[in-house]
């Protein structure tokens, strides 16, 4: 049986009260999605390991760290110290991730790859056996609040077929423009981990927003 997981993205939280915002979704969410940006791989900056380490003290959620940086493997030691559980790296930043995957696992982290909308799914397929998760971006990385790009659903389908036909276990996470309007299409294409920023923290009651997303997933 597939288990569905919801990962609220901190990027959309109120940065004036991050602790409170994480506490609000602690009981409802499965993962906390943490977007690290370096202003180089993407034209934006966000937050780094110090902020993650601060939040680690007040949350027991699994920390899902999406690295939108060049040289993503350089951050591994800091991220381990900060208390991350899963780290994902863009295939566009690290075309041969074999070594980085091994290094992440040696540090005790789960490892995943990320693929941006313009990149063909074939770029990641040969490396899926090294991954516990594949993150398929459904917006161009760098900013929250963008519209879902339906074209990426065919990549979700191809990746799901590849994973099943090769007897692999990787989860498929989708990130960007996920809301109660788009989550079912993503699930039907084969995603089972759903990142939601604006659809959770942009709502007056973030916990209720996570419940609403989960309710959509339960429908046939």
Q: Which residues of the chain form contacts with ligand DX5 (CB under 6 A)?
A: 9, 11-12, 33, 35, 66, 139, 141-146, 175-178, 195-199
Residue 38 bears catalytic tag = no
What 8-state DSSP symbol labels residue 28? T
Residues 163-200 as b/e (b if ≥16 CB within 10 A, e otherwise) read: beeeeeebbbbbbbbbbeebbebbbebbbbbbbbbbbb
From 35-43, 91-99, 146-154, 184-192, span contacting Zn ion (CB under 5 A): 35-43
Asked if 32 and 7 count as a contact pair (C-beta separation under 8 A), the reply is yes
Contact between 35 and Zn ion per CB under 5 A:
yes
Contact between 173 and Zn ion per CB under 5 A:
no
Q: Provide, for the chain, the percentages of residues in helix, strand and coil under a 3-state DSSP scheme, each rounded to the nearest 5.
A: 40, 20, 40
Identify which of residues 32 and 170 has a Cβ nearer to ligand DX5 in the complex. Answer: 32
Q: Which does 197 bind (CB under 5 to 8 A by kind): Zn ion, ligand DX5, none?
A: ligand DX5
Identify which of residues 159 and 174 has a Cβ nearer to Zn ion in the complex. Answer: 174
Residue of 66, 90, 155, 187 that binds Zn ion (CB under 5 A): 66
Residue 175 bears catalytic tag = yes
C-alpha 35/C-alpha 67 separation (Å) is: 6
C-alpha 217/C-alpha 113 separation (Å) is: 24
Contact between 56 and Zn ion per CB under 5 A:
no
Asked if 58 and 24 count as a contact pair (C-beta separation under 8 A), the reply is no
Query: Active site residue: 35, 38, 130, 171, which one?
Result: 35
From 45-53, 63-71, 98-106, 177-185, span contacting Zn ion (CB under 5 A): 63-71
Where is 26: in which H helix or E strand? Answer: none
Identify which of residues 56 and 90 has a Cβ nearer to ligand DX5 in the complex. Answer: 90
Q: Which does 139 bind (CB under 5 to 8 A by kind): Zn ion, ligand DX5, none?
A: ligand DX5
Where is 101: in which H helix or E strand? Answer: helix 98-106
The residues that are catalytic are: 35, 175
Residues forming contacts to Zn ion in the complex (CB under 5 A) are 35, 66, 175
């Amino acid at each position: 049986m597939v288990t569905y997981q919801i990962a609220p993205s901190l990027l959309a939280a109120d940065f004036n009260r991050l602790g409170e915002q994480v506490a609000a979704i602690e009981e409802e969410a499965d993962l906390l999605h943490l977007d690290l940006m370096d202003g180089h791989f993407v034209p934006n900056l966000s937050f780094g390991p110090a902020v993650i380490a601060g939040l680690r003290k007040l949350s027991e959620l699994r920390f899902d760290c999406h690295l939108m940086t060049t040289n993503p493997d350089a951050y591994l030691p800091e991220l381990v110290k900060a208390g991350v559980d899963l780290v994902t790296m863009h295939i566009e930043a690290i075309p041969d991730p074999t070594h980085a995957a091994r290094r992440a696992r040696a540090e005790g982290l789960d490892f995943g790859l990320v693929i941006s909308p313009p990149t063909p799914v074939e770029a990641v397929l040969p490396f899926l056996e090294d991954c516990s998760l594949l993150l398929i971006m459904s917006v161009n990385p760098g900013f929250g609040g963008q519209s879902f790009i339906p074209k990426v659903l065919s990549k979700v389908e191809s990746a799901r077929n590849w994973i099943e036909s090769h007897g692999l276990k990787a989860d498929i996470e989708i990130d960007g423009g996920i809301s109660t309007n788009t989550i079912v299409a993503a699930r039907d294409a084969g995603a089972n981990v759903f990142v939601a920023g604006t659809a959770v923290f942009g709502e007056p009651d973030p916990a209720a927003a996570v419940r609403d997303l989960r309710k959509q997933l339960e429908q046939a």
